[in-house]
Structure 1
Amino acid sequence: MNAPVQTIGIRQHWLLRIRFQLLGGIFVAILVPAMIRSTMDYNVLLESNLQTTMAAAGVAHVLGFFAYRRMGNFPGFAAASYILPTFAMTYGAALLTIFLLRYEYSRFQAIGSFLLSISWYFGVSLWTRQLEPYRLAVVPGGGVEKILTISGVTWSRLTSANDSLDGLSGVVADLRADLPGEWERYIADSALSGVPVYHIRHISESLTGRVEIEHLAENTLGSLNPNHAYIKLKQLIDWIAALLLLILLAPILLVVALAIRLDSSGPALFRQERIGFHGKIFWVYKFRTMSMDDSLDVDDRDKAMTKVKDFRITRVGKVLRKSRIDELPQALNILRGEMSWIGPRPEALALSRWYESELPFYRYRHIVRPGITGWAQVNQGHVADISDVLEKLHYDFYYIKNFSPWLDLVIVLRTIQTMLTGFGAR
């Protein structure tokens, strides 16, 4: 009879516990500034402006904490790098609410709370980096060998169904493989004793940020249907943001258009037929970054590709492409309901038809609105070759499967980083 699996390795270090991080953060960020103020005048604790600020900061802190933790679950996401922008958004929203409601507030408490919040979680992040890396045990059999090449995890091969799981964080197995009875009992006992058991496909998606679909028989499409309620809500948010952007940035957009006209002959705007939501063809608008003759020829597949150091790119075009400013006119496509701020990148008609003929399930990416930026863009950058497009497709499927405001927020923050570094631009 198979020996029972010990209950091991699932106790979290106290630094990783939500209770410690959140309560510690509230004490440091909310109570400490108030205690400092009270040393000067104890009666300040009774003032309504301080109490209002403490309440608003408390809400902002809790929202920032859970948003930060939720985003950190996505692969390739360096959570510590986004502590500052995440808490800046939640505290900014809280202070804006106070301002609009015309409540009085304490600047010392607000600023102190914000600075201490980010300092606390930066400190926690530095402490937790000293802990042991995430360790997973691998049950032999099926297709587990390919998962051992994924970095970011310490893998431990199991050689016997009596192996201890002491010090490990979970078990990974190919649950679709025909495993021997001893390993099936081992997996069942692991789950019953509280040790997490992961299917190789799920852990691979979590670590790489990609969903691979090679055969219809694998039937991942059923689980890839996006949240339709969020599609509607997202469209409303997209529309409002696009309208505000066009109004606020109108003078800047006019200056950019003038610079394009002065730099090279031709119109400031470039339009091209692309495949969009539900496979419908639409005209996408961008600032023109290439010489006019080549840019307007979209029937040739080769001319539809932007190559490394493409000679057709103008001087102004190089700047616009690196900063992604050339994408801003697509706010018009968002107002028309053809695009979203975030989603799979729409391809030129010639390229899309080529990809559809070469890659399985390529058309499935059209189940959500195409976006100006997306999960593939922030992870991979610009691609055109078939092999790279297949990898891009896996990123698109991951986005559709995990379609949520949390993942969109991750993409927004990483897009800002991309704009500052010029990653993936051509």
Structure 2
Amino acid sequence: MNQKNKLASQHAARQTHHLIHSLGGLPLLGLAYVAGLALQGLGLVTNLFPNTVLWCLPAYLLAAHLIYRSVHLPVVEQFSMLIINSLAPYPVLMLGFALLQHRYSRGAVLTAALITMTWFWLVEMRARKRQKLVLVHLDPEAPANLKNKLGARQAELMRHIELVFWPIGETSLPACNGALITDKPESPEQAHQLAQLKLHHIRLYSVAVLAESLTGKKAREALTDPLWQPDSNPAYDAVKRIADCTLVVLLAPFWVPLGLLVAAAIRMDSPGPALFSQTRTGWHGKPFRIWKFRTMVQSKHQETQFAQKNDSRITRLGRFLRKSRLDEIPQLVNVLLGHMSLIGPRPEQHAFVEKFAIEIPSYPYRHLVRPGLTGWAQVMQGYAASAGETHLKLQYDLYYVSHYSIALDLLIAVKTVRTILTGFGAR
């Protein structure tokens, strides 16, 4: 057969697709600019409209960059990511106009935002039709192994790929753009098949890597593999630190008065102080004191343990505070002090950290980034109330540590709104 495959992965192919088609949206902004000039000539708009369209060009380019950088994220999140990334730069642009006291047309910003979102939605739809991942596999057990790793969402996730069996002795390689490999070749025939895949420039995927790209969590094998280790992103860490401090300071007129009201309500609801503090493990394993609004009854002797569903220690007001996440407001001070970030793995109690670090070799790697008020594990799984759930939580945390970026943080921020509105994962 005539194979025209490249060694690039499916992620690289999607990035190339988006990079090329990002240029196609520029003429649409040009048409909006020309339309603005025409409307200005008719006296229907002022010169602010076409001028603002030109100012929207950097926002469009930023949206294109965010989408380009997010194609590696789980495929089921791609449409959510597309909407978030295509629209997010425009409120930032409007904030910039407001801070600089620069006049602009809201209608032009809205028009440019809709053009951006619609264009990239069409690009994504075309990509999904043309770039479905078709994988050949040599092992008849490969589909079952993959489905086992996908868990409860396997039916939903398997729609995004197609598996084709290539039996031993079949000389013709099926049409595909990748191969799912489970183990090392066990026979000369399988070794020959593997060589044919490489000669045809077929990209090879392990079951663990494919499952990670579909589910958004690290494979359980990574938790116990002593040779696997992620690394941090110092440049983005610096940008994120600046963004955290800026947002917390700008929003202080809202969260400080709200925090004072919550503190007063706690004092009236049950005896004891309004604040509760505890030592947690933070960035690079350094301990710090975290602050929260008290949601449990005051106790002098309190063992280190997970909070359980319908925990009798939680006060009446405390249940509401936990469900709405208002008990986390004091941690904004921890963010300003550099102990935490707005987004990152939740900081764990030191006793649990020591225990899990012994049981799970990869556990300490979650401390490569600052802990956060909300994180990937919280919006995908919720609260971990047992050692077993902690393993699953760690799979999500390590995925975040491996892939954290502006695009992923924006997705977590939007999903956090859902957790606040629904109380998902609260204890």
**CA shift for structure 1 position 85:** 3.8
**CA shift for structure 1 position 398:** 1.6
Counterpart of 1:18?
Answer: 18
**Contact 1:5–1:189 at 8 Å: present in 2 too?**
no
Distance 1:86 1:10 in 2: 28
Cα pair distance change 1:143/1:135, threshold 3 Å = closer
The 5 A counterparts of 1:277-356 are 277-293=283-299, 297-298=301-302, 300-301=303-304, 304-356=305-357
**Contact 1:45–1:51 at 8 Å: present in 2 too?**
no
Q: Which of 173, 178, 186 pairs up with 1:164?
A: 173
Give the AA of the match of 2:64. Answer: F
Deviation string 1:287-315 (CA, Å, 9 cap, x unpaired) is 1112222xx644x24xx211112222222
**Root mean square deviation of aligned Cα:** 3.6
**CA shift for structure 1 position 228:** 3.0
The 3-state SS of whatever aligns with 2:339 is: coil
**CA shift for structure 1 position 108:** 3.0
> Does structure 1 residue 391 correspond to structure 2 residue 399?
no
Question: TM-score normalised to the size of structure 2?
Answer: 0.82
Distance 1:246 1:189 in 2: 61
**CA shift for structure 1 position 122:** 4.5
**CA shift for structure 1 position 100:** 3.8
Q: Which shifted more, 134-143 or 60-69?
A: 134-143
**CA shift for structure 1 position 271:** 0.9
Counterpart of 2:181?
Answer: 173
**CA shift for structure 1 position 40:** 4.0
> Identity of paired residues, percent?
32
Deviation string 1:215-254 (CA, Å, 9 cap, x unpaired) is 7665112xx1212333344333333333334454211111
Q: Which of 235, 255, 260 pairs up with 1:254?
A: 260
Distance 2:287 2:103 in 1: 52
**Contact 1:72–1:78 at 8 Å: present in 2 too?**
no
**CA shift for structure 1 position 421:** 2.5
The 5 A counterparts of 1:256-271 are 256-271=262-277
Counterpart of 2:379?
Answer: 378
Q: Which shifted more, 247-256 or 102-111?
A: 102-111
Give the AA of the match of 1:323. Answer: S
Cα pair distance change 1:41/1:284, threshold 3 Å = closer
Cα pair distance change 1:236/1:51, threshold 3 Å = same
Counterpart of 2:216?
Answer: 209
Give the AA of the match of 1:97. Answer: G
Give the AA of the match of 1:324. Answer: R
Distance 2:186 2:423 in 1: 47
Distance 1:126 1:7 in 2: 23
**Contact 2:292–2:329 at 8 Å: present in 1 too?**
yes
The 3-state SS of whatever aligns with 1:74 is: coil
> Does structure 1 residue 190 correspond to structure 2 residue 197?
yes
The 3-state SS of whatever aligns with 2:276 is: strand
Q: Which of 227, 236, 247 pairs up with 1:219?
A: 227
> Does structure 1 residue 236 correspond to structure 2 residue 245?
no
Structure 2: which 5+ runs fail to align? none
Distance 2:233 2:186 in 1: 35
Counterpart of 1:74?
Answer: 73
The 3-state SS of whatever aligns with 2:89 is: helix
Give the AA of the match of 1:335. Answer: L
**CA shift for structure 1 position 360:** 3.3
Cα pair distance change 1:46/1:382, threshold 3 Å = closer
Distance 1:297 1:209 in 2: 39
Give the AA of the match of 2:408. Answer: L
**Contact 2:283–2:371 at 8 Å: present in 1 too?**
yes
Distance 2:309 2:403 in 1: 32
Counterpart of 2:368?
Answer: 367
**Contact 1:346–1:371 at 8 Å: present in 2 too?**
yes
Cα pair distance change 1:125/1:345, threshold 3 Å = same
Question: TM-score normalised to the size of structure 1?
Answer: 0.82
The 3-state SS of whatever aligns with 2:271 is: coil
**CA shift for structure 1 position 76:** 6.1
Deviation string 1:364-412 (CA, Å, 9 cap, x unpaired) is 3223222211121111110121111112112222222223333223222
> Does structure 1 residue 276 correspond to structure 2 residue 282?
yes
Deviation string 1:1-51 (CA, Å, 9 cap, x unpaired) is xxx77336999999x9436753454444x2444454445454889986344
**CA shift for structure 1 position 106:** 3.2
Distance 1:387 1:43 in 2: 67
**CA shift for structure 1 position 261:** 1.6
Q: Which of 2, 6, 30 pairs up with 2:3?
A: 6
Distance 1:117 1:86 in 2: 10
**Contact 2:49–2:107 at 8 Å: present in 1 too?**
no
**Contact 2:280–2:289 at 8 Å: present in 1 too?**
yes
Give the AA of the match of 1:18. Answer: H
Distance 2:95 2:288 in 1: 38
The 3-state SS of whatever aligns with 2:404 is: coil
Counterpart of 2:108?
Answer: 109
Counterpart of 1:64?
Answer: 63
Cα pair distance change 1:292/1:46, threshold 3 Å = closer
